[in-house]
Structure 1
Amino acid sequence: MAKASVHIAALIAASIACAANADELVPYKIAGDGIADSLTGSPGDAIRGRALVLARTTTCILCHSGPFPEARFQGDLAPDLAGTGNRWTAGQLRLRLVDASRFNAETIMPSYYRNAGLLRVGRNFDGKPILSAAEIEDIVAFLATLRY
């Protein structure tokens, strides 16, 4: 149990550190239906990405389900994440996380890396993206590993 507490504490610390830098957006280029280049210039960490997907703070698991036997109460509002790495490229995944509304203007999925033109945003979060560039890359790295 102590090991799990250390991992949870590390995840919380990392999330707070990333949130402190999350309000600074790095420029990116959309080409076709994706963002080919990493937002950070390097690949993300799939282990951190998995932890972010399962963290209730990112809300992924509230809407999506997936191959996560340890996660209770997985969502059923959005596509199952199993096989995500087969369905989309890293660039396509990146754009879906950055701004899901580019694919569906009526989506309920948050645009995790936008800070303007958003609706129903709390005052403390206005002008800030939900995730940092590093967190986006970590999630992309993890989702790319999900193959059938």
Structure 2
Amino acid sequence: MRLSTLTLAALLAAGTASANPVTYADVVFNEDGGVEASLTGVAGNPEEGAKIFSTKSMGNCVACHEVSTLDAPFPGNVGPMLDGVADRWDATQLRGILVNAKMTYEGTVMPAYFKTDGFTRPGNAYTGKAPDGPLDPLLSAQQIEDVVAFLSTLKE
């Protein structure tokens, strides 16, 4: 009976954890701007990560970055070439850069893909229609993990 109770408690705790996904406020950055803990506790899918990376309506990372193994038309050159990126940064650093690149590179123009608040909203001066309050992240926690998994495959 005790084992059944413990198993049930573990299942309920797991269900509660998935019902309450991690938010930007929950993310802990290390001193270098990296995020050590997975945002989902689930391994990322590199194939999905490549799709998110190269799809305009998702991450659209190819607007600024090039990966020579991807067949993406008109890759950008604003950001660094990402061939061999997994040799330069580990998953902790890559996750931190995706969640909020400004925690690592203060002056970067790279968007914070998981940040949801604290934005300057100049749209009110022009349209009066800028949303108030927190915004949805550009990428979900699992999408961040998928892109990290994809980038982690890019070795020289």
User: What TM-score bracket applies, with the shorter chain setting the length?
Assistant: 0.7 to 0.9
Instruction: Report what 1:46 is aligned to.
Output: 46
CA displacement at 1:125 relative to structure 2 = 9.6
Larger radius of gyration: 2
**Cα 1:127/1:51, change in 2 over 3 Å:** same
> More relative contact order in 1 or in 2 (CA 8 Å, sep 6+)?
1
Q: Which amino acid aligns with 1:47?
A: E
SS at match of 1:145: coil
Identity %: 36
Instruction: Report what 1:25 is aligned to.
Output: 23
State the TM-score, normalized to the length of structure 1. Answer: 0.77
Query: 2:77 & 2:29 partners in 1: Cα distance?
Result: 29
Stretch moving more, 66-75 or 55-64: 66-75
What does 1:58-137 correspond to in 2, within 5 Å?
58-120=59-121, 123=131, 127-137=135-145
CA displacement at 1:67 relative to structure 2 = 1.8
How many equivalent residue pairs?
A: 127
CA displacement at 1:106 relative to structure 2 = 2.1
Stretch moving more, 133-142 or 33-42: 33-42
CA displacement at 1:124 relative to structure 2 = 9.2
CA displacement at 1:69 relative to structure 2 = 4.8
5+ residue gaps, structure 2:
1-20, 124-129
Query: 2:154 & 2:133 partners in 1: Cα distance?
Result: 31
State the TM-score, normalized to the length of structure 2. Answer: 0.73
CA displacement at 1:103 relative to structure 2 = 2.0
Instruction: Report what 1:143 is aligned to.
Output: 151
- The answer to whether the 8 Å contact 2:22/2:39 transfers is no
